Structure 1
Amino acid sequence: MKEFSSRLVEKTEALLTWRARRKARKKQREAAIRARRNTLLKKLGGLLRELVETVLIVLVIQQYLIQAYVIPSGSMEQTLMIGDRVMVDKLTFGPEILPTVGKLPGLSSPKRGDIVVFENPSYISPGVAFEILHRFIYMMTLSLVDINRDEQGNPRAQLLVKRAVGTAGDRVRLERGEVFYWFPGEGGWIAERALLGKGVRFSYRPQRLVSPDMYPLLEKAARAVVWFSEGFTPDLEGRAAYQRIADSKELVDYYAFELYQMGERARLHPEEHDYARIWWQGAMGWYIPPGRLLPLGDNRDNSRDGRYFGTVSLRKVLGRPIFRFWPPARIGGVR
């Protein structure tokens, strides 16, 4: 009987000990899982904080110091090509406080000959909230993702890059596609090409695609177009010039073509002052008032620039491209 009781006690103690050990092991496993979970959460929290801090640093740098930008068109060829990716210095001319909201003072103002990035005067913003989201994604992807697109899926031309050809006090005009200056205190017009290569600000080389021989044809064709629209029969010379231009695959200087038309309309309708005003502005050029500049593309015959939308406020100038980082074959400074 004693032996049975002893065995019963031993079995009971073993069972209780096993249950206690099992509970202890279970508690240890649960504690280890909690510890690993807490460690993982701490690591994830740390990574999230580091990610947020990195994002904020990148955003601050790109909003106020330097930002990546992709060249959208060929208006600056051969200086900047379509698809070139450049770093834009935003500090020198003063960055925006927030996208499309205010502007901080800059270290200096754009000088004649500087390449500038500015807000497109023709751009219609969808709203501040969208602009902030668009700029956030654009900056965080180093210009690889652009959600600001039109109905056809093409990026909207929100920002433009051109050269500051005219600055405050200058008078600038174009004659047959060539730029002429009348500087403050000077006694007449000076051709841009006479100044190229004479100093850093005139070290660029504009590209011309329209032949000088095209302009007499454009003038005659413009006269023919106006006469036809007014119900007159254009002369043979005008009709031949128009047909030659229409059959030709050469690029046309449409700004000069429109200006020639305004001149002919002003001659036919002296009572219509708008025709004379537009023609006179083209003939006498633009006066650049304080606080503004005149931007033109280096690819003069294939650029939608200040000839069409006029001068640009310095408050709309966001920066200047200083370094090209893509493609690899074109890595280098921008002038």
Structure 2
Amino acid sequence: MGPLTGVLYGLLGIYLGGWFLGFWVGNFALLLFVLTMVTLGYWLAERFRFQPARAAAAAALTQQDAVRRAELSRMGIEKVDGDVADARRKLLMQPWWLDWTAGLFPVILAVFLLRSFLFEPFKIPSGSMIPTLLVGDLILVNKFHYGIRLPVINKKIIANNDPQRGDVVVFRYPVDTRVDYIKRVVGVPGDEVAYINKRLTINGQPVPVSPLPDFYDEDSRRYAQHFSEKLGDKEHQVLNDKDRPAFIPGAHEFPFSDQCSYTAEGVTCKVPQGHYFMMGDNRDNSQDSRYWGFVPDENIVGKAFFVWMNFGNLGRVGSFH
């Protein structure tokens, strides 16, 4: 079993190395599931085979030593050299390949359950959600808020809340479901969403906005127009770049694209049932539903709600809307 364990760890190293170097896109949920199943197999083997076998061998050694000492005592030899305690300890000792498999099972199982059904950490890789979320923010996502889903296949088995306008949501990118995106829900099923001349309208009603002092983006070293926007009962901040045009460049075909119409002033879409319209808060620097379409409900991962760390700015830690 030792050589087999070494091979498995070698394959794991190759997979993680290729993922880190960009040779392929990793699937952490699947990897964690596989690790849980493999270590479970080792744990069961240790619990019901290897550990009893070691205990039996140690008991046999102890019994043999007792028989030997009794035989020597009958021969008048009371002082017997040798102590089986060290040998017994070595027989009972768990080998390294079980330490690094069965021994890790409880930890991996706890992480798997926590990540799959309760909370999952993510890192913000881009500036599409500035000023709400900054590049480098490490956030927590509530996995059960929108219902309980089976890990890996993301199949909802217990319904809970539906995504609401204004929620910040992590979801699987419809163009490549191996990649996770984060945006704000702007339109729910049945809504007519219009983004015309950089102003948002839902079902014919303009979304209330109020101007704020210009926002300085330290990464791009540029100022942006800064607004407070209210979707439903949720108030948040958005940015606009006055130098960017109002029309949507580079939009492509996507499911239900016939529900959208594009003009020089922007885009208007009717959100189909079971889908959501997502937008970034950094409105002119966000690839979102205006470009690649609606997000199906089965792609929803969870609701983002808390920045738990930003190593460059500890003041970022806290909840957000």
Equivalent position of 2:185 in the other structure: 164
Q: Which runs of 5+ in 2 are unaligned?
A: 1-71, 211-226, 252-256
CA pair 34-258 structure 1, distance change in 2 beyond 3 A: closer
The reply on whether 1:190 has 2:176 as its aligned counterpart is no
Q: Which runs of 5+ in 1 are unaligned?
A: 1-15, 126-157, 183-187, 215-251, 260-273
Worse overlay, 56-65 or 94-103: 94-103
Q: In structure 2, what residue type is equivalent to 1:72?
A: P
Q: In structure 2, what residue type is equivalent to 1:85?
A: L
SS at match of 2:156: coil
The reply on whether 1:329 has 2:312 as its aligned counterpart is no
Q: Could you give the per-residue CA deviations for residues 256-287 of structure 1, whole angstroms, max 9, x where no partner exists?
A: 4568xxxxxxxxxxxxxx99x85369766111
| CA drift at 1:102 | 2.1
Equivalent position of 2:195 in the other structure: 174
Q: In structure 2, what residue type is equivalent to 1:24?
A: V
Q: In structure 2, what residue type is equivalent to 1:110?
A: P
Which of these residues, 141, 156, 161, is aligned with residue 88 of structure 1? 141
Q: Using the alignment, how far apart are the partners of 1:106 and 1:63 within structure 2?
A: 15
Equivalent position of 2:13 in the other structure: none
Equivalent position of 1:290 in the other structure: 273
CA pair 62-310 structure 1, distance change in 2 beyond 3 A: same
Q: Using the alignment, how far apart are the partners of 1:290 and 1:56 within structure 2?
A: 36
Say if 1:95 and 1:318, in contact at 8 Å, map to a contact too: no
| CA drift at 1:33 | 2.1
Q: Which has the higher strand share?
A: 2
Equivalent position of 1:25 in the other structure: 81
CA pair 170-319 structure 1, distance change in 2 beyond 3 A: same
Equivalent position of 2:254 in the other structure: none
Equivalent position of 2:159 in the other structure: 106
Q: How many pairs are equivalent? A: 223
CA pair 198-72 structure 1, distance change in 2 beyond 3 A: closer
CA pair 84-166 structure 1, distance change in 2 beyond 3 A: same
SS at match of 2:236: coil
The reply on whether 1:37 has 2:90 as its aligned counterpart is yes
Q: Using the alignment, how far apart are the partners of 1:163 and 1:78 within structure 2?
A: 12
Q: Using the alignment, how far apart are the partners of 2:168 and 2:128 within structure 1?
A: 12
Say if 1:94 and 1:318, in contact at 8 Å, map to a contact too: no
State which structure, 1 or 2, has the greater radius of gyration over its C-alpha atoms: 1
Q: Could you give the per-residue CA deviations for residues 50-93 of structure 1, whole angstroms, max 9, x where no partner exists?
A: 53112101111101111111111110011111111111100011
Equivalent position of 2:119 in the other structure: 66
Q: Using the alignment, how far apart are the partners of 2:197 and 2:265 within structure 1?
A: 11
Q: Using the alignment, how far apart are the partners of 2:177 and 2:234 within structure 1?
A: 33
The reply on whether 1:300 has 2:283 as its aligned counterpart is yes
| CA drift at 1:94 | 2.4
Q: Using the alignment, how far apart are the partners of 2:202 and 2:100 within structure 1?
A: 58
SS at match of 1:82: coil
Q: Using the alignment, how far apart are the partners of 1:171 and 1:285 within structure 2?
A: 7
CA pair 83-119 structure 1, distance change in 2 beyond 3 A: same
CA pair 71-104 structure 1, distance change in 2 beyond 3 A: farther
Equivalent residues in 2 for 1:178-327 (5 A)? 178-182=199-203, 188-193=204-209, 201-208=233-240, 210-211=241-242, 214=243, 252-253=244-245, 255-256=247-248, 278-279=261-262, 285-327=268-310
Query: Scaled by the length of structure 1, what TM-score is found?
Result: 0.57
| CA drift at 1:38 | 3.7
Q: Using the alignment, how far apart are the partners of 2:232 and 2:99 within structure 1?
A: 50
CA pair 301-61 structure 1, distance change in 2 beyond 3 A: same
Say if 2:189 and 2:273, in contact at 8 Å, map to a contact too: yes
| CA drift at 1:293 | 1.0
CA pair 56-329 structure 1, distance change in 2 beyond 3 A: same
Q: Using the alignment, how far apart are the partners of 2:209 and 2:110 within structure 1?
A: 44
| CA drift at 1:105 | 2.8
* Identical residues among aligned pairs (%): 26
SS at match of 1:74: coil
Q: Using the alignment, how far apart are the partners of 2:177 and 2:187 within structure 1?
A: 25
Q: Could you give the per-residue CA deviations for residues 97-126 of structure 1, whole angstroms, max 9, x where no partner exists?
A: 12135233331000000000000011165x
Q: Could you give the per-residue CA deviations for residues 209-231 of structure 1, whole angstroms, max 9, x where no partner exists?
A: x21xx4xxxxxxxxxxxxxxxxx
Equivalent position of 1:150 in the other structure: none
Equivalent position of 1:244 in the other structure: none
Say if 1:176 and 1:256, in contact at 8 Å, map to a contact too: no
Q: Using the alignment, how far apart are the partners of 1:100 and 1:281 within structure 2?
A: 40
Q: Could you give the per-residue CA deviations for residues 183-229 of structure 1, whole angstroms, max 9, x where no partner exists?
A: xxxxx442442796668733111111x21xx4xxxxxxxxxxxxxxx
CA pair 175-101 structure 1, distance change in 2 beyond 3 A: closer
Q: Using the alignment, how far apart are the partners of 1:43 and 1:332 within structure 2?
A: 41
